[in-house]
Amino acid sequence: MSAELRREVLKTFKKLHRTRLNTFQGDQYALSFVRNKINDEYKKNKNVTDAAAINELNKFANEVEHEVKTTIIQAVEKKPGIFELKVRNDHLIDNVPPPGTPLPKPERRCSDRKSKS
């Protein structure tokens, strides 16, 4: 494995662990479980030597990191039956179409139409 490829793999490994710490902050069970899962997956693939396969695994790890960062919202129980959500800016993804895309015309409401009697 080249030094540059090794550096990319380690960078992604560290990024996964930082995301784990941010996403599951304060939840020792989840922190431990996810840490072990990340480490097990990297250990399982430590003997892969093909650069294309390593790049594919690294790409997959980056996609997993992005999904964990943007889709998992932690809920903390403040009182029995009352939870507080920890929503971060990473969770707030715009559903706006790209610039230059024409927006659909608003539909007419029933009250806008003349009633036929």
Q: For 15-62, what is each residue's pLDDT tens digit?
A: 999 999 999 998 899 999 999 999 999 999 999 999 999 999 999 999
Looking at residue 112, its pLDDT comes to 53
The mean predicted confidence, pLDDT, of the chain is: 85
Helix ranges (H only) for the chain are 3-23, 28-44, 51-71
* Buried-state track 70-100, b at ≥16 Cβ within 10 A, e below 16: eeeebeeeeeeeeeeeeeeebeeeeeeeeee
Q: How confident is the model at residue 111 (pLDDT cuts 50, 70, 90)?
A: low
